Amino acid sequence: MERPYIICHMLTSLDGKIIGDFLDAERTQHFIEQYEKIHDGYECKAWMCGRVTLEEHFTFGHKIDLTTENISTIPRTDYVDNKDAKTYVVAVDPSGKLGWTKNYISQGRENSSGDHIVEVLTEQVSDAYLAHLQKLGISYIFGGTESLNFTVVVEKLKNLFSIERLIIEGGGVLNGSFLNKGLIDELSLVFVPIADGASNSMTLFETGNYLKRPQPVNFFLKGVQKLDDGGLWLRYVTK
Ligand SMILES: NC(=O)c1ccc[n+]([C@@H]2O[C@H](COP(=O)([O-])OP(=O)(O)OC[C@H]3O[C@@H](n4cnc5c(N)ncnc54)[C@H](OP(=O)(O)O)[C@@H]3O)[C@@H](O)[C@H]2O)c1
């Protein structure tokens, strides 16, 4: 299979939580900065997140009004608006809920034209949402008829956008989907030296409703680096 090298990069508490009050602690800010620095150091052409994460951090729950558009049927074929972007953000949004208003995410970097958005959809998405994406110049690919096959998705990312290295950055449901498909080559964890302590908050890998029988996955240590103020950067590989 021709696919990108895939790194899962996450910030966690000592008890493996990826959300919770520990993220708001003053001390955590330093580790968030380290996390971003390490992200940049990987020099991946694309980063990917699940719909919930993108809604929380980038579209802020904005909803697009699609009811007024009188749209004819749009074929469920991949739509490449920009195959030569320098960088991409890949949004896993199976039914087309994300309220994008432009075709890139700019993370405040100077002289950056931003990361071109590629939506990952199922064929259940509405014609009106596809028309909206085309109007904005957002690329999209189909990962399945009713559910997503991430093996197909990552092959398309390589073939259509020449993405050789992909960094996936949560949340837990997206990470879990990749883990259980054997699609993680490297795990990069920035450990914040705080135990969150909440038993019901999300961990690094979750299964959502998509997976009934997750399998344990072996990792092999590639590197350990101490960070200031007691944090750790751990790197593991699966082969
Ligand atoms: N600590 C960190 O480093 C870090 C990093 C990233 C995110 N986070 C946090 O993680 C939280 C969100 O995590 P999450 O796990 O709830 O959400 P998520 O992984 O961001 O998004 C989950 C959604 O993505 C789509 N999706 C993911 N896997 C799928 C699959 N196999 N098949 C079909 N659709 C799939 C579904 O969208 P639909 O619901 O639309 O079907 C699903 O509900 C946020 O609070 C965020 O801040 C933390």
Per-residue model confidence as pLDDT tens digits over 44-98 = 999 999 999 999 999 999 999 888 667 889 999 999 999 999 999 999 999 999 9
* pLDDT reported for residue 214: 78
How high does pLDDT run on average in the chain? 94
pLDDT tops 50 at residue 5: yes
Least confident interval from 39-43, 103-107, 228-232, 235-239: 103-107
User: Hey, what amino acid is at 179?
Assistant: L
**Hey, is 235 helix, strand or coil?**
strand
Burial 84-113 (b: 16+ CB within 10 A, else e): ebebbbbbbbbebbbebeebbbeeeeeeee
Report pLDDT digits (tens) over 174-198.
Answer: 999 999 999 999 999 999 999 999 9
Q: Decide: 38 in ligand 1 pocket, CB within 6 A.
A: no
Cα gap 108→99, rounded to integer Å? 20
In this prediction, what percent of the chain has a pLDDT beyond 70? 97
Cα gap 119→217, rounded to integer Å? 28
* pLDDT reported for residue 66: 87
Q: Decide: 170 in ligand 1 pocket, CB within 6 A.
A: yes
* pLDDT reported for residue 110: 47
In this prediction, what percent of the chain has a pLDDT beyond 90? 87
Q: Decide: 190 in ligand 1 pocket, CB within 6 A.
A: no
Q: Decide: 97 in ligand 1 pocket, CB within 6 A.
A: yes
Looking from the CA of residue 12, the nearest atom of ligand 1 is 1
Rounded mean pLDDT, 115-124: 98
Kindly give the distance from the C-alpha atom of residue 206 to the centroid of ligand 1, in angstroms, as a whole number: 9
pLDDT tops 90 at residue 112: no
Report pLDDT digits (tens) over 207-235.
Answer: 878 777 778 999 999 999 999 999 999 99
Domains of the chain with CATH codes: 1-45+164-239 (3.40.430.10), 50-162 (no CATH)
| Ligand 1, atom 33, residue with closest C-alpha | 148
Task: Write out the E strands in the chain.
Answer: 5-12, 46-50, 88-92, 104-105, 115-121, 139-142, 165-168, 186-191, 220-227, 231-237
Confidence of residue 109 (pLDDT cuts 50, 70, 90): low
pLDDT tops 90 at residue 1: no
Looking from the CA of residue 210, the nearest atom of ligand 1 is 31
User: How far does Cα 112 stand from its chain's mean position?
Assistant: 20
CA triplet 61, 176, 150: central angle to 5 degrees? Answer: 85
Confidence of residue 132 (pLDDT cuts 50, 70, 90): very high
Kindly give the distance from the C-alpha atom of residue 4 to the centroid of ligand 1, in angstroms, as a whole number: 21
